[in-house]
Amino acid sequence: MKLLTRMARSFVAGETVEEAIKNVRKLNEKSIMATLDVLGESVKDRETAEKAVNAYLALLDAIPKAGINSHVSLKLTQMGLDIDTDYCCQNIDRIVGKAKTLGNFVRVDMEGTPHTQRTLDIFYRLRQKYDNVGIVLQAYLHRTGKDVRDLNNIKAKIRLCKGAYKEPPDLAIKKMKDIRANFILLAETLFKEGVYPAIATHDDRLIKWTKEYTASNKIANDRFEFQYLYGIRNKTFRNLAEEGYRVRCYVPFGTHWLPYFSRRLRERKENVFFVVKNLFRK
Ligand SMILES: Cc1cc2nc3c(=O)[nH]c(=O)nc-3n(C[C@H](O)[C@H](O)[C@H](O)COP(=O)(O)OP(=O)(O)OC[C@H]3O[C@@H](n4cnc5c(N)ncnc54)[C@H](O)[C@@H]3O)c2cc1C
């Protein structure tokens, strides 16, 4: 378990708020903004959901106290989506409301397809009340073209990513080449009709496309941002920040790192080899 913990540390910025803040400060020093995520998902009882809400409320207070540049990201199943939709909505309302008073921003992560519609339903409810909340859409889902158009109509801030969950072919595009093509199509719509898109990928081809598209369409660097996951391709994103692009790092922390860590392993065979190799090393 210890070796796994050590491996997880390359993707997770510590177990405590203090450790996470220390890591965000290092990123900020390199002109990289952050979005902090208190790890947790698939919560089945109100006590755990309440703890998660309190952790986010405390985190929102800690950010300005520490003087760091960071938003927060969260998952609705951590806030009780699988317990009761209204209950979940009340929980996230408390967090977005507090963020609003502090001038901060909350990004609602997108989970697997059993949660997609309910996540969007709650987002639409929140968006009627707040402007400091954004959502994530996944380029691998067949439905995302329509979701992008609908969300653009309400001027929602969207983070576009490929998608990290195992989905069936009737719901999701399976070939990487096709996911990439759809990502470009969706990103183009976001640049044309959306509000401040966040391009969340480590894929060199998509990063290159974004740079070329924004340059040739005279889209200023302050009208969008690149986002990446803590511990992945740091140099690429440091370079982007140095080139004058806005860059934000998704910084997860906490003790419930296993599902997040497993998704990162699944994305990249080399990571699994690395873990296995370490297991056999003294
Ligand atoms: C800021 C951010 C937020 C996200 N939020 C969500 C969300 O809310 N919902 C959701 O479903 N998904 C989310 N994701 C994950 C996303 O959907 C992808 O699963 C993930 O980003 C991998 O896809 P990629 O576009 O980076 O391309 P890939 O083709 O997977 O990777 C491109 C290159 O990046 C590097 N790389 C990618 N992943 C890894 C890794 N795990 N370890 C080491 N190197 C790696 C490799 O060099 C690889 O060749 C998020 C991603 C980012 C960057």
Q: What pLDDT score does 10 carry? A: 85
159 is catalytic: yes
The pLDDT of residue 179 is above 90 = yes
In the Cβ-directed half-sphere of 265, how many Cα atoms lie within 13 Å? 15
What one-letter code names the amino acid at 113?
T
For the record, the structure tokens of 47 come out as 């006590």
Greater pLDDT, 150 or 6 = 150
Question: How far does the centroid of ligand 1 lie from the alpha carbon of residue 201, in Å?
Answer: 5
The pLDDT of residue 39 is above 60 = yes
233 lines ligand 1 (CB under 6 A): yes
If one residue of 27, 174, 182, 229 were mutated to test the ligand 1 pocket, choosing by the most ligand atoms within 8 A of its CB, it would be 229
Given pLDDT bands bounded at 50, 70 and 90, which one contains residue 7? confident
pTM for the model stands at: 0.95
Q: Can you tell me the mean pLDDT for 130-154?
A: 98
What one-letter code names the amino acid at 170?
D
Q: What pLDDT score does 1 carry? A: 44
136 lines ligand 1 (CB under 6 A): yes
Q: Can you tell me the mean pLDDT for 108-126?
A: 98
For the record, the structure tokens of 5 come out as 């913990």
CA-based nearest residue to 203, from 167, 236, 244, 243: 236
Q: What pLDDT score does 276 carry? A: 60
* Full DSSP string of 207-270: HHHHHHHHHHTT--GGG-EEEEETTSSHHHHHHHHHTT--EEEEEEESS--HHHHHHHHHH-HH
Q: What pLDDT score does 8 carry? A: 80
Between CA 213 and CA 223 the distance in angstroms is 13
Q: What pLDDT score does 282 carry? A: 40
Tell me the per-residue pLDDT of 163-178, one tens digit each, with 9 for 90 and over.
Answer: 999 999 999 999 999 9
Q: How many CB atoms lie within 10 A of CB 1?
A: 5
For the record, the structure tokens of 50 come out as 């309440």
Between CA 264 and CA 232 the distance in angstroms is 10
Catalytic residue among 37, 107, 147, 159: 159
Contact between 74 and 106 under an 8 Å Cβ cutoff? The reply is yes
Q: Can you tell me the mean pLDDT for 193-200?
A: 98
What one-letter code names the amino acid at 152?
N
Question: How far does the centroid of ligand 1 lie from the alpha carbon of residue 9, in Å?
Answer: 17
Does residue 120 sit in helix, strand or coil? helix
129 lines ligand 1 (CB under 6 A): no
Q: What pLDDT score does 2 carry? A: 61
